[in-house]
Chain A
Amino acid sequence: MTTISNETLRRTPFYENLKASGGKLVDFHGWELPVEFSGIIDEHNTVRTAVGLFDVSHMGEVLIEGPGAMGLVQRLVTNNAAKLSDGQICYTPMCYPDGTIVDDCLVYRYSAIRFLVVINASNVDKDYAWIMEEAKKSGEAPGSVQVTNLSDSYGQLAIQGPAAERVLATLTRTDLSSIAYYHFVDPVEVAGVSTLVSRTGYTGEDGFEIYVPDIDSAKAGKVWNAVMEAGRPHGIKPIGLGARDTLRLEARLMLYGNDIDETTTPIEAGLSWTVKLKKGVEFNGMARMAEQKASGVARRLVGFEMVGKGVPRHGYPLAAADGSPVGQVTSGSFAPFIKKYIGLGYVKPELTEVGTPLFVEIRGRKVEARVVPTPFYSREK
């Protein structure tokens, strides 16, 4: 990917498009990206009711290939890559041997000997180094697995919302309706550019992620402009990082660094469904996961909504009804579509029942909240 450094900040290939669309650019983990365009609330609701376009090129991609690929992937992640069909994707944490989380990622299975692992922008270097180290330790014969960091050569867009398929369908001859949720096709020609298209996203809406390999600014401009033009009759808008965060929070999707990190396990985070203890091969963190599934955990991630007036935010203390400290808010915000003030936080298991009262300490004041079921929002199927 062509990145033009602005002193310290990196730019994605879509930078000119973001600027031309009026993006308010900020430093996001070393990338110059828009926090908003027309406004976080407007962008959020546009994705929920129509369609929005995100530049997500800062995400990372690591290719794992060779006869040893399946073995390596299975050891790296908690989910079961052997159960995926070719063209299928799974969401999975990647753990350390002690069960804490290196990163959460998507594993795209091309075949049993070829996987694309999509990772968070904030963790690209860490994850790549970790995967390389694990590959060396691999029981497979040396040279049986190749690990390539393709993060710099991929650009990526996400088109999300109820109208996403209708819009993207006008730009490709591929039958998008045949791409099921958490499946992908590669290649798919979009606006004349060869891409990988998956029915995935970070918003809780229907939509697609479009990966452009060997991207340059010409390809980027072509795809961006084509999607924006095709989306115009549907009211498409460019969407920034602010709305990306409020959308994923409503859908209870994890944000690494907030809700999960190197001190949390997938069981504590409510991601037990991604941990396949019976997949038949040992994976990093397996012993701790098994122990936690059997004996329980000391804390669990719950969703809550404010009852009193105030905005819960990352780091704010959480207290039980009796005032005793029980944890911290990991993510919190005004939720623009459901129009509530919501958050996630780790609490003792006794306090996880829906309806349990909690207090969020907001600048010295204890404000009432209550545990609610998550996700906070689900789209109509």
Chain B
Amino acid sequence: MKTQNLKRIFLFISFLYLPAHSQNFVQDTLEISFDNLSHAPCAAILDTVIDKRGTQPRFLAWDEKTKYLFVPVDLLILSKKPLAAEIQQALNCGTEKTAACTLELILDEFELSKRNNSMLYPHYRLNAAIQVLHKKKDGKPVSIGRLLYESTIRQPFFGDKLKRGFETLVHKWIVHLAEDLDSLSQNLQTKQTIKSANFRSGNYFSDPQNMISTLDIQRGSGGWLWDAEIIFSPREAKRCFYRDGYNIRYRRNKTYESIEFGLSCDYLFYRLSQNLLLRTKSQLMFGLSSWKDLNETMHDFWDAFIADYSLSQSVIYNPLDKSAILFGLGISQDVFYIYSKKINFRLYFLLNLGLKL
């Protein structure tokens, strides 16, 4: 072997293991600032904010980015000060003289995430769950319920503005929280029913995340479509919300069958009632086809591939904040491309069966 080749190999290895260089492959840290938030007014006294997340106090989120095309590197997202302190400072709560009542907050969950699996709505998302305690005159805190939040903002089309995105999201959320606390304190004082979309009264507290696995069975002019899907969904905090999922499709008709994998699978949910959800699903898929007539017909190599976009609308029985067996009905529209058959459009009836855990 030539000496030059050996030198090249050793240089390559040394490059990978240069201590200074290898640090780049370990972890990056991003600090989110709460400093420049425009303080929202809140009439209540905020006695304490307790962080019960079980993570380090400054932790906000983990993200991941790719360096040198394939090397995955962690991105640790932190606040500058402990999160509880940042929240307390950001909320411009009243002083004792003007205050309507004294509240204590327990931060059960706080999660920032970048959702870029979605093709239609790549977004940054904030999910939070805060237990609200009312401190009575004797100083004993009494739990009055929980505030649940889900805020999203669209990711910019070009470039990743993660820091700016998360800061905007946090700002939006703090304003929302201040408004809710203000409204809560006023309602407590006037002993009126608390009317906030984010508020859940009592001690009810569902799991932070649901796994929804569903099967969409579709029958139409193009034969059968079977879609198996999994969605990991934070608990519902809004009436209208987006989710992204993971799915696989099996297509079957007279001459071929296909297995397709979801490149992007977006859901837009709208809660119609306590038990019913309207679901609009958009999915882009790519897969392989197996031809049943191989012995009779010669197929082109490119016939082995299939590309597909479909939309569906369905009404599903899905009770709020409960584990359940799900079922629903709807219609779906499917456009697909196969080399020898070109572009095709098909309509299907849809039956949805699922399980929410």
> Are A and B genuine complex partners?
no
Question: A: which residues have CB within 8 A of B?
Answer: none
Question: B: which residues have CB within 8 A of A?
Answer: none
